[in-house]
Amino acid sequence: MLKTYFNVSKPFFTPCVSILKQLSSEGPIRIKDMNEKKPFQKPKYDGRSKKRQWEERRSDKGKSITSEPKKAKVDDVKAESENPVEKIKRRKFAILLGYSGVNYFGMQRNPYTKTIEEDLFKALHKAKFINDLCYDQVQNMQFQRAARTDKGVSAVRQVVSIKLPENMDIEQVNKELPDVIRLFDCKRVTKGFNSKSQCSGRTYMYMLPTVAFADHDKEVEQESFRLDADKLNRINELLKHFVGTKNFHNYTSKKKPNDPSAKRYIMSFVCETPIIRNNVEFAILKVHGQSFMMHQIRKWLDYC
């Protein structure tokens, strides 16, 4: 019987053992084809500025044909020297203001509409406390209002937060504002201050003639009608049902009953003692709450 012996050297035997172990643990080994093309992968951006493709195709690799830098125009040089760019330090301020909303379409700025914020920004721009960029994009000065008012609604005290220069002077702004808008005071606040999110409560007052509470089946005159104490107490008892944390989705629009934002916290809602103006009796309904939804108070008054 013929026996054949092979002399296997140790350097050859060691890799064979590692291959057998890999076969037993991981399964078959995929042999890489040297001619196989790798799929194209876009290199990661390393943060450095790169030349555009048309620059790579040029013979000069994107460099100018002439080595001399482009000369600036004489007008541009004069404009830069006359109007140098100055970096102005801006700080966050809280501004207390009041306004009459008559002939205005609300507080919030809207294009091509007369609003309180539009006149405020114009006055700040004329007084040179904001630049053109901040006037066009109020987000650049971190502007925020504590509350919004609708068309024709006035505000005795309204607070806005805004970043302005340190030399802010409300008297200069008031000179540029119309007579129906006044700034009362401004205070430095922290840079994280937000007049909307950090407002703990808002108070609204609605004034209406007491004849609105008259019985619907009786004919009364506005000048002669007076609200008695018994009916005033009944009105206040009715308004107490709105106090507390409740779901008010029925008193707004585009809110579903299961929407968590439909829950609002109302602290007080009262009808104050009536007053007489020009022989007509008026009542003031005063509501104080943490926040309100669109048309919420108006729908309350319709319900009453």
Give the residue extent of every domain in the chain. Answer: 90-188, 202-303
At 40 the pLDDT is 61
302 given a catalytic annotation = no
Of 271, 287, 293, 175, give the one whose Cα is nearest residue 227: 271
pLDDT of 168 > 80? The answer is yes
What is the pLDDT, as a whole number, of residue 215?
Answer: 87
Q: What pLDDT, on a 0 to 100 scale, did the predictor assign at position 156?
A: 93
Global pTM reads 0.65
The reply, when asked if residue 45 is annotated as ligand binding, is no
Q: 44 versus 279: which is more confidently predicted? A: 279
The phi and psi torsions of 264 (rounded to 5 degrees) equal -130, 150
Residue 78 or residue 270, greater confidence: 270
Identical topology for domains 90-188 and 202-303: yes
Q: What's the rounded mean pLDDT across residues 55-69?
A: 49
Average confidence (pLDDT) over 93-119: 94
pLDDT of residue 16: 57
Fold exhibited by the domain 90-188: Alpha-Beta Plaits (3.30.70)
Q: What phi and psi, each to the nearest 5 degrees, are found at residue 157?
A: -140, 120
Q: Is 219 exposed, middle or buried (0-12, 13-18, 19+ CB in 10 A)?
A: exposed
Q: Are strands 244-247 and 181-188 parallel, antiparallel or unpaired?
A: unpaired
pLDDT at 234: 93
Q: Tell me the average pLDDT across 181-190.
A: 95
pLDDT at 54: 45
42 pLDDT exceeds 90?
no
Q: Are 267 and 243 in contact (CB under 8 A)?
A: yes
pLDDT at 243: 94
Q: For residue range 243-300, what is the model confidence (pLDDT) as tens digits?
A: 999 999 999 888 898 999 999 999 999 999 999 999 999 999 999 999 988 888 888 8
pLDDT of residue 141: 92
The fraction of the chain above a pLDDT of 70, given in percent, is 71
Confidence at residue 262, expressed as pLDDT on a 0 to 100 scale: 92
| Residue 215 DSSP class | -
State the pLDDT at residue 14: 56
The residues facing 275 across adjacent strands are 282
Q: Is pLDDT above 90 for 100?
A: yes
Share of the chain above pLDDT 90, in %: 53
pLDDT in tens, 204-244: 999 999 998 888 888 888 899 999 999 999 999 999 999 99
Instruction: Answer whether residue 185 shows pLDDT above 70.
Output: yes
The residue from 150, 179, 215, 217 that is catalytic is 150
Give the domain 202-303 fold. Alpha-Beta Plaits (3.30.70)
pLDDT at 94: 96
